Structure 1
Amino acid sequence: MQIDHDFGYFLDPNKMALIANYEDESAALLKLMLIHEDFLRVVIENLRPEGSEKYNAIKNYKYFTPKLSAAVLLGLPVSLADAMSELNSIRNKYAHKIDYVITNEEVDKLAETIKKIKIEEINHGGYIHQVIEPILKDGIYAVALMKDLPPNLEENRLRICKLVTSAHCMCLLGAFWLINTLHVKDKLKLSRSE
C-alpha cells in the first residue's frame, strides 16, 4: 500500500526506539506526551471543516485535554482517546505529585487499554487490517521493541519500554485511524502497491 501523505513521527518506530533508550521515566513520558499532543493537532487540522480556520483555536489550546476533546468531537474513537487519557493521567501524576513514582501496575494497565480498542473503529476504510489486528490482539507485545528486549532488563528500563511501546501503539492506531478517515472522506488517496 502507498500513502500519499506524511504522518512522520506517528508511524516511525525509530523515533520511539530513541525514547525507549531514555534513562529517566519522566523525560520519556514528557516526550511521549509531546508526540501525542502533536498527533491531536494533526487530527484537528486535517478533520476540521474547510473554511473554519478563523475558528480553529487549537493554536491557543495550552493543555492536552481540550485538544483530546476536540479530536473526539471530530471523530477520534473514544476507546483510543481513553488510552491516550490514561497516559496523560500518568503524566499528570508526575507533574503534580512531587514524590510520585510510576508503578508496574499503572504501566501494565496502560498497556491493556490498547486491547480495548476495536478494529472497526480504526480500520473503517478496510485497507490495513493485517497491520492493525496484531496490535489489538497482542497489544504492546506485537511491537518489535517489546519482542526484542533482553530477558534480564532492569525494572526501570522495562517500565520505560512499556510506556514507549504503549504510546507507540496508540500513535500507530491513531495514524491508521486518521489514514482511514481521510481516505473515506476522499482527502487522502490510498492505492495497493504491486
Structure 2
Amino acid sequence: MSEHARASGTIRKLWPHEQGLFREHLMRLDKASRMARFAHGVSDAFIEEYASHMTDAGSTVFAYIEDGEVRAAAELKKLGDTWGREAEAAFSVEAAYQEHGIGTELMGRVIRAARNRGVHLLYMSCLATNAKMQAIARKYEADLRFELGEVIGEIVPQEPNYFSLLAEAVEDRVGFMMAVLDLQRRVVKAA
C-alpha cells in the first residue's frame, strides 16, 4: 500500500477458524511493529504460542482484512476469569497499513465491544515512544499516564444500550458471512 493509498479492506471480528490468519499477521510484523505491539522484541515461537490463544474465552479479535489477509488487529481481553469491570486492549498494524485510520477504526470497535460486555474500565498500554497509539487513544478521550517507559491509557466506555448491542450483532452477522465467503475463496484458491 502506498503512502497515500486509501484502505480498501474490511474490518470485522475474526472467528475461531481464522486463527491462522491472525498468526500470519503477527508473523509479518516488522521488528519495530512487533516492539510496538508487545513492548519488547519477540520471537516467532512466542508469536506462535500467543496466536494459539486467540480463541480463548474472554478474547475478541477485530481485524482489518484486505485481499484475504489480516493486515491489522485489535484485541479485547478480559482481565480476570469473567467479564467484569476491567479489560485490556492491544493493537497491531503492519507498517504499510499505518496512518490510514485503520487503528482508529479498530479502537472504536474494541471500545464498543467492551461497552457491550459491561466493562467499566478499558486499559491499553504502549511504549512511551509510540506516539501513533497515544494519538489514537486521545481521540477516544483516554486518560494517559506515563509509567516506567510506558504509557498507560484508561478509557471509560459508556453503558451498553439497544443501539450499541444491535450494531455489534448486525456487524457480527455480516462479518460471519464474509468469513465464510473468505474461507470459500481460500479453499477454491488452494484447489
Larger strand percent: 2
TM surpasses 0.5: no
The structure whose RCO (Cα within 8 Å, separation 6+) is larger is 1
TM-score between the two structures when normalised by the length of structure 2 = 0.31
Larger helix percent: 1
